[in-house]
Structure 1
Amino acid sequence: MPVPSAPALDSTLVSLARDSLGARIDPIGARLDSLIYSRDDGDPVELLYRREPEPDLPTDAPGSNGQWHRRYAGGWHTLVPHSGDERTVDGVAQPFHGEAAWKTWRVAAASTAPGSAARVHASVTLDTVPIRLERVFELFGTTLRITQRATNLGERPQPISWAEHPAFAPPLVGPGLGITLGESVLPLHVPAPPETHGAFAAYPCGAIGRAVLDNPVSGLRVTLEWDAELFPYAFIWQEHRASQGSPWHGIADILAVEPSVRPYDPEDERLGPLVIAPGDTIATTFTLTLA
């Protein structure tokens, strides 16, 4: 796949659209800021949770954990080379949910031939580990495809963690939503009861990397697919208008499905179980399809 020339390094959102889907990518973290589905029988629907923090947020939140939640804008992040609480590994501080989500990537729309998918290419080289990341967004009909590559630029094997963090919102999220992970229907109540309003759980996804979110009430059905051998776990996070503290204040309605290479809590002192040999590249694809 060709890499577009002379991508710009700035904070301008980059848009792409094709058929019934429209998307917008934020150079900060190469975050998918918006994914809009235009139904034939209704108004366009925003599928992702979106929040617009104030640009002059105070910086008194404790550490990167606090800063992340204070500045959380929703959407779909990639979490590399670490996910979860901030920690120090080999003397290097790793911020909450990994350096890649905090850095400004080079992002540019690539030229496409007639009849091909719309495409946006993003790239960044990390500082905490010698890893170069590339993230390519493409649209095909009612499918979003994200292809991501991680290349070890160093001279030693590099362990990393890796998780994807798509956060969905109403009308997909809400009463009537059912979730199937792999071949199993998850025992989730949506919205979650008050005592579990901040519910978070990690599930092994089995042989099939697939989550189906089906809401017959809203008429929306979304299928998220990934490589289950590379990402054998999926985290499910729910936040349904019950948490009154910052930053939710009882107004956030979110459900995230997060493929991950490891359980949420690290199992050893390494950054993660995924080890990239010097000069090697790991490439994988995530698709999100509307039905």
Structure 2
Amino acid sequence: MSCTDLEAAELSSSTLTARVEALGARMTSIRHGSTAVELLARHDTRVLEAADRPALPDGHLRFADGWNVLIPNAGDSRVIDGVEHEYHGEAARRAWQLSVSANAVTASLALRSLPLSLTRTTSLVGDSLLVRQTIRNDSDVPQRFAWVEHPVFDGALLSGGGAVRVGASSVPLVQLGQGGFDSARVPAGCACVELPDARLALRLHWDPHVLPHMHVWQERRSILGPPWFGRVDGVGLEPASHGPGDPEFGLGPLTLEPFGTLESLLRLEVIEAERGESPQPVEAAQ
């Protein structure tokens, strides 16, 4: 069923529920059923609404929670070939068309800043959430762009002095009142972290040939001034097409040939501890 005016849609499996909004095809909730734990960071909706006001440049607040997709630009606004590309890209700020089936939500959008068409399908299978992103070049010339997945998980769930396993290495989790940013190439295409208080663990898989980098962004109420004023408590696990900073060329390293298509799948596993046991350590695939 296609619903051009649908503002949001929900999915559920035996283990998980998820909510996808039309605005930005943004996922605003991933909830684990048996524990009733909300996995994504969620902040005051009045703060998020303020993010779109011109008085707050670049709308940083919108990206402090939920799961956003950043295409065709990731990072500061920039002008390429005479076209201005917004902070973190057009896709996160436009209303997508939602189509709902029995077990999936598909969001579709034709960009205005580049001749790219985006299709994003979110589905739930047991204890896994799947996101299949397709990007099509609708023109007869090559198109260069960036792509970053931007899920931000509830910082309170990740507290306790643990670490995010990123490939063969690890990134320590900061304490409340601190922040941090780490980035590395991850040939394994996998990151994982334990949520001991919730008795859960998360394992995120992606295609490292498309998104070879992983950013770990941590903001645990460390910024007391604008734009967040101590309101943000989240940890972002962000598969990315390129490392931090400005891309070497144009918007980013990904290129689609004329009328070409790129498709890639991300999978988030939510692993529950057995009754009376602690979550088993999760290791990233080597």
Q: TM-score, normalised by structure 2?
A: 0.88
Partner of 1:191: 175
1:51 deviation in Å?
Answer: 2.0
**Aligned mates of 1:214, 1:73 — CA distance in 2:** 21
* TM-score (normalizing by structure 1): 0.87
CA contact (8 A) 2:41 2:152 kept: yes
Residues 201-258 of structure 1 deviation map (CA, whole Å, 9 limit, x = unaligned)? 22111x2000101133431200000011111111111011221123422232100010
- Counterpart pick for 1:76 among 33, 42, 67: 67
CA contact (8 A) 1:131 1:150 kept: yes
In structure 1, C-alpha distance between the alignment counterparts of 2:49 and 2:173, rounded to whole Å: 37
Aligned counterpart, 1:226? 206
* 2:277 counterpart residue number: none
Aligned to 1:201: 182
Q: CA deviation at 1:189?
A: 3.5
Return closer, same or farther for 1:23/1:227 CA change in 2, 3 Å cut-off.
same
Structure 1: how far apart are the matches of 2:167 and 2:53? 41
Distance 2:215 2:125 in 1: 27
How much has 1:70 moved relative to structure 2? Answer: 4.1
In the alignment, which residue of structure 2 is the partner of 1:50?
Answer: 42
Work out which of the residue numbers 4, 16, 30 in structure 2 matches 1:9.
Answer: 4
The letter of the residue matching 1:19 is S
Quote the offset at 1:72 in angstroms: 4.5
Summarize deviations over 1:79-124 as a string: whole Å, max 9, x none.
Answer: 000100111111100000000000100012114xxxxxx2111100
- Pair 1:250–1:204, CA change in 2 (3 A): same
Give 1:170 deviation, angstroms. Answer: 4.4
- Count of aligned residue pairs for this structure pair: 269
1:21 Cα shift? 0.3
**TM-fit CA distance, 1:135:** 0.3
Q: Is the 8 A contact 1:171 1:218 kept in 2?
A: no
- Does residue 1:61 correspond to 2:55, yes or no? yes
Q: 1:199, CA displacement in angstroms?
A: 1.3
Aligned-partner residue type, residue 290 of structure 1: V
Question: What residue in structure 1 maps to residue 160 of structure 2?
Answer: 175
Gaps of 5+ in 1: 112-117
Given candidates 202, 223, 229, the residue that maps to 1:249 is 229
Quick check: 1:98 aligned with 2:78?
no
Q: Quick check: 1:157 aligned with 2:145? A: no
1:177 shift after superposition: 3.2
Cα distance between partner residues in 1 of 2:72 and 2:240 = 12
Q: What letter corresponds to residue 270 of structure 2 in structure 1?
A: L
Structure 2 unaligned regions, length at least 5 = 272-286
**C-alpha contact 1:177 1:216 (8 A) present in aligned 2:** no
Residues in 1 aligned to 2:99 and 2:269: alpha-carbon distance in whole angstroms? 23
Task: Find 1:18's aligned residue among 13, 23, 27.
Answer: 13
Look up the match of 1:259: 239
**3-state SS of the aligned residue for 2:10?**
strand
Say if 2:165 and 2:193, in contact at 8 Å, map to a contact too: yes
1:38 maps to what in 2? 33
Fraction of identical pairs, as percent: 32
Shift of 1:71: 4.2
The answer on whether the counterparts of 1:48 and 1:167 sit within 8 Å (CA) in structure 2 is yes
Q: CA deviation at 1:181?
A: 0.3
The more displaced of 79-88 and 54-63 is 54-63
Label 1:73 to 1:53 Cα distance change in 2 as closer, same or farther (>3 A). Answer: farther
Q: Secondary structure of 1:172's partner?
A: helix
> Alpha-carbon deviations, 1:128-180, whole Å to 9, x = none?
00000000001011100000100000110000100000000045321143210
Alignment pair present for 1:86 and 2:67: no
Residue number in structure 1 paired with 2:278: none
